[in-house]
Structure 1
């Protein structure tokens, strides 16, 4: 063998030996290709919620897939809506197989929008991958943009979409965007195509007015596109409150004129108006909305020296609006046995709601409520109220326990199996799963929320799962609901 051949062969042997050593083996001999997990569409927060990044740990994917769509499609009671917004806004990797699913990412965003947090949905979707490749994610992104007034952004989302561009939603948005760009003929053609696919008389009326200059009629707040066209036409958005979907409620201005009260207006007339407004509210959501609209006025009344005509009603309204301090101030004024427009049970219910809102596990308040329930009988709201308050963990006296054990607060309307899984999730620390199951019960119950028996189970489970603030809110709401028409 020639010298050059021997050198070449030797070099090859040396290189082979080097590659087989521990120093080089891991680098050259153990290269592996790994498939990256899809980006998690639940990991971006919509805001600071105080919940941990382990929120969805060990949550059953099937429960998430069943419950999450309900949160966008079904009305929730105000307290349940607050819980839903909180868990959906939390930045935490979703349940296994759910967080990377574009459809479920869109469900999360649409639920946030439906719950009145379009700004939060914007924050989530601005960082979401693959929006242009998913019609569902793009619809959520466009609606969030329109509701927050970012019309140009919504139009760019529609332009970037790579799938299902001929769907009715995109035709309606495209006609609006073409009108914004001054492309009147193209917009009219697109409007005709949209009208041929689905009927939306309000949208057609509004867009025709935008294209022709004819009177637009009343504004419509059914969805983001209709709201954007109404806004572009300069229509009275406030007057369209009756057509506003929950997603668009935040764009409406609260009612009431507190400046006049602060300037020394007739407090008696203001109080009479507030009380009439609150008394005519039918159902829990309407009472909460009326309470929020009257909240600032009630706060002024509570600080004034003038006597209150219906102090318990005003205190309940302050609680419904989230103003615990004003409710406490009104309660502090109530002394003696005679309270205007209120009896002993009314006062016991108010004290129970105040204790729940303040996070006090007040055994005396619970005992007094139980005593009132025992005296008034099974038809008294004090008996179901005691069940709700007891769910927060107050200690009963021996006599109260004996009385409480005889109560008949009603029946459950929920599958016992669902309640068992919810209780198990709470005990095991599966916080997200416990919250979803509680929200499922509330969604199935409707806008007034679950009845007292089921509500008490939800309160206890949420408290056990570490969702104390949400448990208290659900308890306060239930206590108030017992006296709402």
Structure 2
């Protein structure tokens, strides 16, 4: 498909109108500058808004997956029917029924009665093998706080087990996979909640491994080592041998650990399965006093626990390359330098691994005296430096006057944006800005409080700052710029924001400020996903948007799952579309697809939050 062809991708074709061809070519940013709209497009716009993607079934009769099926090779007449007299009876004619064993796949923390629960039908339309494949595809470095929150709720929801091959058929259990994905995502509190309701003796090695690693992360070595001994007996293999050696070293039993290491090396040569990583062997030798710890060991839970025992200082490359899911365990290392600790914490908050409120605690690792805090606003600081961002944030919290606080906030947010952790800065700033009042004298700095409040969902307060900037726009150029930056957030929040008649008017006015075209294109795509079908034709494409996105089949599958309200499948496919990218790195078509799928699932609040992520992560 050429960049300016009116042929539309296969997953868009069922809409099949000239309007959509125009929207895809111009609005989806494959064709160049603003298009005024043809007569055919205008005639199509007269009808109801059309979905970006096809309905799940063209005939209205549902898909094959929705229809009940008889197992292959089984005749309906051959289904067994037990005579009623065969039912177990107690005395006096009372029937006694035997409860079927509970499928561990159904176990969860959130039920239909919980506000955060998704109900018992989240796996509707899927077989067990399909759910297992989708769960395995959750990216460990998922960089969206919104999608991480939705996946947490999904993985904690108690739901009916999908059909298909049961546990014991050679596939990992769904309960084990759910726990493993929470562990990989680094959501330790959610993982502990799930493990507390999970049955103990399932024979599920993946679940047992995850249970042990969760105890290591939380510092419960006694329970971790009890699970390790049990795992050696139940499962055996290299992984469990390493866990046992760690426990022997932690207990000071060097003789047993030395014997275990000898056996591990021999097992490593003969075991056709998992092999002992050399980093573990070096760490174990260092704990025994032979040699030194490797600079950049593989960041597994066991290796990080051994680093903690050694009180070894991890290499900065290890911290930047480690999976996001291991951030909390790495942050627990006492040997971690203050600047490295702040950088790692900001990265974790940016992706949603840690809540924004935790960032203030990590900034406090820098100790500043009162005169330094009072002089922060006038100091020659470099916000790209972790220590200077910590100083600005502590000064912001220290009770300065409102004019000083909004200016400090502006400098702090500028630093987090330059560092690529703008979302972390907005989340950390929320507790500080909720107490600020939008006084006229503060209108020049309204964008900082306004963005933090919009992103945190405090709509009424955020709109007050937006209106404050608008009232002073004629007086101060800074206030006019603040209103221009806050207008997209107000629109994404679903309010009829004043100041510009439409997106094209705002885009034309904003072009002179140097705002990049890719950010404007993502804003238009987000509005399109939220139902404003005219948005895409109002902007010019950016260079990165001129080519079609990769992975069109994935987008088609996401759209089909969303329209069919297959919630579990749609959320897992949305995370696969995102991968390890932030929302702001998506192609406009990808952003529109994820936003529209969330809307289809009645997750409109989360759809708007995800759209704001895209803008904020680009520094808008």
Residue 574 of structure 2 aligns with which residue?
438
Please tell me whether residue 87 in structure 1 is matched to residue 183 in structure 2: no
> For residues 165-219 of structure 1, what are the alpha-carbon distances to aligned partners after superposition, in whole Å with 9 as ceiling and x for unaligned?
222x322221121123331211233345557745656545544454449987989
Pairing 1:450–2:586 present: yes
For residues 347 and 428 of structure 1, the distance between their equivalents in structure 2, rounded to whole angstroms, comes to 39
Please, which of 452, 458, 466 is the counterpart of residue 331 of structure 1?
Answer: 466
- Check if 1:427 corresponds to 2:559: no
Q: 2:503 aligns with which of 369, 378, 388?
A: 369
Which stretch of the first structure deviates more once superposed, 196-205 or 155-164? Answer: 196-205
Partner of 1:280: 418
Cα contact 2:422–2:617 (8 A) shared by 1: no
SS of aligned partner of 2:489: helix
Give the aligned partner of residue 228 of structure 1: 305
The TM-score with structure 2 as length reference comes to 0.60
Task: Find 1:289's aligned residue among 412, 417, 424.
Answer: 424
Deviations 1:261-292 (A, max 9, x none): 4444584684465145223223xxx3223444
- Of 103, 127, 132, 1:39 maps to 103
**Residue 467 of structure 2 is aligned to residue 467 of structure 1:** no
Match of residue 451, structure 2, among 299, 310, 316: 316
**8 Å Cα contact 2:396/2:409 also seen in 1:** no
Partner of 1:166: 237
**1-structure distance, mates of 2:304, 2:252:** 19
Q: CA deviation at 1:64?
A: 2.4
Shift of 1:429: 2.2
Separation (CA, whole Å) in 2 of partners of 1:271 and 1:376: 23
Structure-2 separation of matches of 1:23 and 1:470? 51
**Any idea what the Cα deviations from partners look like across 1:343-372, whole Å, max 9, x if unmatched?**
76x744533324434xx3548689533422
2:327 aligned residue: 249
Deviation at 1:330, TM superposition (A): 4.2
Deviations 1:217-245 (A, max 9, x none): 98989232233334445567999854653
CA deviation string 1:87-119 (max 9, x = no partner): 112221243237845443322111111222223
Once the two structures are TM-superposed, the CA of residue 159 in structure 1 deviates from its matched residue by 1.5
Report if the CA contact (8 A) 1:219-1:235 is conserved: no
Are the structure 2 counterparts of residues 74 and 311 from structure 1 closer, same or farther at C-alpha, using a change threshold of 3 Å?
same
**Which runs of 5 or more structure 1 residues have no equivalent in the other structure?**
1-21
In 2, the alpha carbon distance for the partners of 1:99 and 1:74 equals 30
Pair member with larger Rg: 1
Gaps of 5+ in 2: 1-82, 90-94, 269-274, 332-357, 365-392
The alignment covers a number of residue pairs equal to 448
Alpha-carbon spacing, 1:201–1:420, altered in 2? closer, same or farther (3 Å): closer
Kept in 2, the 8 Å contact 1:158–1:173? The answer is: yes
Q: Partners of 2:400 and 2:290 in 1: how far apart?
A: 44
Structure 1 pair 369/131, CA: closer, same or farther in 2 (3 Å)?
A: farther
The answer as to whether partners of 1:221 and 1:245 remain within 8 angstroms in 2 is: no
Q: In structure 2, what is the equivalent of residue 143 of structure 1?
A: 213
Distance change (3 Å), C-alpha of 1:217 and 1:94: same
State the 1:459 CA deviation: 0.8
Where in structure 2 are the equivalents of 1:92-171 lying within 5 Å?
Answer: 92-97=159-164, 100=167, 102-129=172-199, 133-161=203-231, 162-167=233-238, 169-171=239-241
Report how far residue 248 of structure 1 moved: 3.3
Q: Relative to structure 1, is the Cα distance of residues 404 and 227 closer, same or farther in structure 2, using a 3 angstrom cutoff?
A: closer
Query: Does structure 1 retain, via aligned residues, the 8 Å contact 2:188–2:214?
Result: yes
When normalised by structure 1's length, the TM-score is 0.74
Q: Deviations over 1:450-473 (max 9, x none)?
A: 322211121112111122232122
- 1:405 is aligned to 2:537: yes
**1:343–1:163: structure 2 CA closer, same or farther, 3 Å change rule?**
farther
SS of residue in 2 equivalent to 1:71: coil
Equivalent residues of 1:63, 1:436 under 8 A apart: no
**Aligned-CA RMSD value:** 4.4
1:292-327 C-alpha deviation (Å, 9 max, x unpaired): 445545557777997487543564355556666775
CA distance in 2, matches of 1:277, 1:432: 37
Is contact 1:209–1:216 with CA below 8 Å preserved after alignment?
Answer: yes
Q: Assess, with a 3 A threshold, how the Cα gap between structure 1 residues 129 and 296 changes in structure 2: closer, same or farther.
A: closer
Secondary structure, aligned partner of 1:438:
helix
Give the stretch that moved more between structures: 204-213 or 184-193. 204-213
Residues 319, 327 of structure 1: 8 Å contact kept: yes
Residue 71 of structure 1 is matched in structure 2 by 138
CA distance in 2, matches of 1:82, 1:95: 23
Q: Does 1:350 align with 2:417?
A: no
1:70 CA displacement: 1.9
What is the alpha-carbon distance in structure 1 between the residues aligned to residue 103 and residue 279 of structure 2? 38
